[in-house]
């Protein structure tokens, strides 16, 4: 998917071709390597991913196709100074999100204040009445958060979207680092890169700190997966294994004596913390979709009785709403008393008549997204669209404006990828992963860098042809 050229910031090279400070040591190493050896290593990375089984499913109307995650071996490098600034902004935003969710399901002070229209909650499928008046164990709603960031200049980072429901991709972050360390071990003795391999330990500790009061001894953790046909099943199995937690499906669980229990060879044993990778609608057939076979009948009653922790809390998906995202600057200020350290991308809410008119008049220059969309599906990139595609999308907007938001087409920063012809710039974004517990907020140094592998493309999603890179945060 191509688009017209925009002025862009390259994170490795200055406009005069010299190398920026963060990349200087890496580039010096790179220039000394034999190009044939590098090409062989590039092929070896694909073999490593294939042997490890690092795949995802791409769903179509007729089938699901399993693919390897494309990986590029040129790292994305972030300086210690840049990371400190990003961490402060991420922590501020995550604190605000958690406070916002608590308020939405209790007094709704932000609605009473007039800062958030009640229409943002009314008829919003992601808002769960079952959560009203209930506070999760530890008062944590968003145990694991992914904040998608884009960069447009030396110090210009913006939040593209928030992932507070079930953020995915952390297994690719970890496997990218394992791959780089296996292929180029000398780089990690030469360049001081902050580690990410301790994420599963931190995740288990953070989830354990959110266990309900009824937990005895070391909390028992389990990862609830929809099963092997889910697009992120590799990640579910990977994280359960790395945490030393149980990987379970709905058929492995039932409610026994007021607790959610897992089937074992010696009977059913209680689960204290359930890291669910099942959407709200399928979590409990007694509370949501009655025909769901992916959830546990009665789990919401156990949850509301305070006898299990569900991560992330049901109802957090409203924070992923892209129309609600446009209110995040007000939300941050309302709950923290501070101006946002990380700005939003300017956003037009198509539900508003004036905004809809502007979007329709400028459709060829904008990016339009579904309010509840993900994975790059249902999105229009105006500068890359044909006249036929623009006309079809205009009809969708006029028929259902509430379903869409629009944003300007940003000049995303670029990082070079490795090609047979040499280094070539490609657009990237970044998803840092954040752990939240009563003990504090832990931002993993780096995150998942997604890269648009096609020249000129702005679509970084793996399901739409994008790939991933290892993300390096340098030590001070």
Counting every residue written for the chain, the total comes to: 476
pLDDT for position 46:
80
Per-residue pLDDT of 221-278, as tens digits, reads 999 999 998 888 989 999 999 999 999 999 999 999 999 999 998 999 999 999 999 9
Beta strands at 380-381 and 422-431: parallel, antiparallel or unpaired: unpaired
Per-residue pLDDT of 143-181, as tens digits, reads 999 999 999 999 999 999 999 998 999 999 999 999 999
pLDDT for position 45:
85
Q: Map residue 291 onto helix, strand or coil.
A: coil
Per-residue pLDDT of 413-439, as tens digits, reads 999 999 988 999 999 999 999 999 999
Tokens 């008049």 found at: 361
Per-residue pLDDT of 398-417, as tens digits, reads 999 999 999 999 989 999 99
- 387, pLDDT greater than 50: yes
Per-residue pLDDT of 57-82, as tens digits, reads 544 444 455 667 789 999 999 999 99
Instruction: Name residue 409's beta-bridge partners.
Output: none
Measured CA to CA, the distance from residue 109 to residue 156 in angstroms comes to 32
pLDDT for position 460:
81
* 53 against 188, higher pLDDT: 188
- 455, pLDDT greater than 60: yes
pLDDT for position 475:
96
The four Cα atoms 443, 448, 452, 458 give a dihedral, to 10 degrees, of -30
pLDDT for position 157:
97
Measured CA to CA, the distance from residue 303 to residue 224 in angstroms comes to 15
Per-residue pLDDT of 332-343, as tens digits, reads 999 999 999 999
Predicted TM-score (pTM) of this structure? 0.92
pLDDT for position 164:
94
Mean pLDDT of 93-105: 98
Mean pLDDT of 197-209: 97
Nearest to 390 by CA among 361, 350, 426, 370: 361
pLDDT for position 262:
97
Mean pLDDT, the chain, as a whole number?
92
Nearest to 407 by CA among 167, 145, 158: 158
pLDDT for position 65:
56
pLDDT for position 4:
41
pLDDT for position 59:
45
Mean pLDDT of 317-329: 93
pLDDT for position 55:
58
In the chain, % of residues over pLDDT 70: 93
Q: Map residue 24 onto helix, strand or coil.
A: helix
- 56, pLDDT greater than 90: no
- 53, pLDDT greater than 80: no
Helix 170-183 to helix 199-208 angle, to the nearest 10 degrees?
150
Structure confidence at residue 456 as a pLDDT band (50, 70, 90): confident
pLDDT for position 261:
97
- 1, pLDDT greater than 50: no
The topology under which CATH files domain 213-307 is Rossmann fold (3.40.50)
DSSP conformation letters of 96-113: HHHHHHHHHTTT-HHHHT
């Amino acid at each position: 998917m191509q688009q017209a050229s925009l002025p862009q910031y390259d994170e490795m090279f200055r406009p005069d071709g010299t190398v920026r400070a963060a990349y200087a040591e890496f580039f010096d190493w790179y220039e000394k390597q034999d190009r044939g050896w590098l090409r062989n290593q590039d092929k070896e990375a694909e073999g490593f991913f294939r042997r490890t089984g690092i795949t995802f499913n791409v769903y179509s109307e007729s089938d699901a196709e399993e693919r390897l995650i494309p990986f590029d071996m040129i790292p994305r490098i972030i300086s210690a100074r840049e990371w400190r600034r990003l961490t402060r902004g991420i922590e501020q935003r995550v604190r605000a999100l958690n406070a916002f969710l608590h308020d939405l399901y209790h007094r709704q002070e932000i609605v009473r204040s007039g800062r958030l229209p009640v229409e943002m909650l009314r008829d919003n499928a992601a808002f769960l009445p079952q959560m009203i008046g209930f506070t999760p164990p530890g008062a944590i709603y968003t145990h694991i958060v992914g904040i998608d960031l884009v960069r447009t200049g030396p110090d210009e980072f913006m939040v593209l979207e928030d992932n507070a429901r079930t953020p995915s991709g952390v297994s690719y972050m970890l496997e990218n680092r394992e791959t780089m360390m296996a292929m180029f071990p000398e780089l990690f003795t030469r360049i001081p890169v902050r580690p990410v391999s301790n994420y599963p330990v931190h995740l288990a500790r953070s989830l354990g700190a959110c266990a309900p009061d009824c937990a005895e001894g070391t909390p028992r953790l389990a990862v609830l997966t929809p099963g092997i046909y889910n697009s992120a099943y590799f990640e579910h199995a990977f994280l359960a294994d790395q945490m030393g937690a149980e990987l379970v499906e709905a058929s492995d669980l039932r409610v026994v004596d007021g607790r959610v229990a897992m089937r074992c060879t010696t009977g059913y044993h209680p689960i204290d913390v359930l890291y669910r990778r099942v959407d709200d609608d399928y979590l409990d057939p007694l509370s949501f979709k009655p025909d769901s076979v992916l959830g546990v009948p009665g789990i919401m009653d156990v949850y509301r009785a305070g006898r299990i922790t569900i991560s992330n809390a049901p109802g957090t998906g409203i924070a992923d709403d892209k129309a609600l995202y446009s209110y995040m600057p007000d939300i941050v200020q309302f709950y923290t008393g501070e101006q946002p350290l990380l700005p939003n991308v300017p956003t037009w809410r198509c539900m508003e008549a004036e905004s809809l008119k502007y979007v329709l008049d400028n459709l060829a220059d904008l990016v339009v997204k579904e309010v509840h969309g993900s994975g790059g599906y249902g999105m229009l990139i105006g500068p890359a669209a044909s006249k036929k595609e623009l006309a079809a999308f205009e009809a969708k907007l006029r028929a259902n404006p509430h379903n869409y938001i629009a944003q300007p087409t940003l000049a995303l920063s670029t990082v070079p990828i490795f090609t047979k012809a040499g280094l070539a710039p490609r657009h990237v974004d970044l998803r840092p992963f954040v752990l939240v517990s009563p003990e504090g907020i832990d931002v993993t140094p780096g995150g998942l860098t997604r890269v648009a592998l096609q020249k000129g493309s702005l679509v970084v999603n793996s399901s739409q042809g994008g790939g991933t890179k290892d993300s390096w945060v340098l030590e001070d």
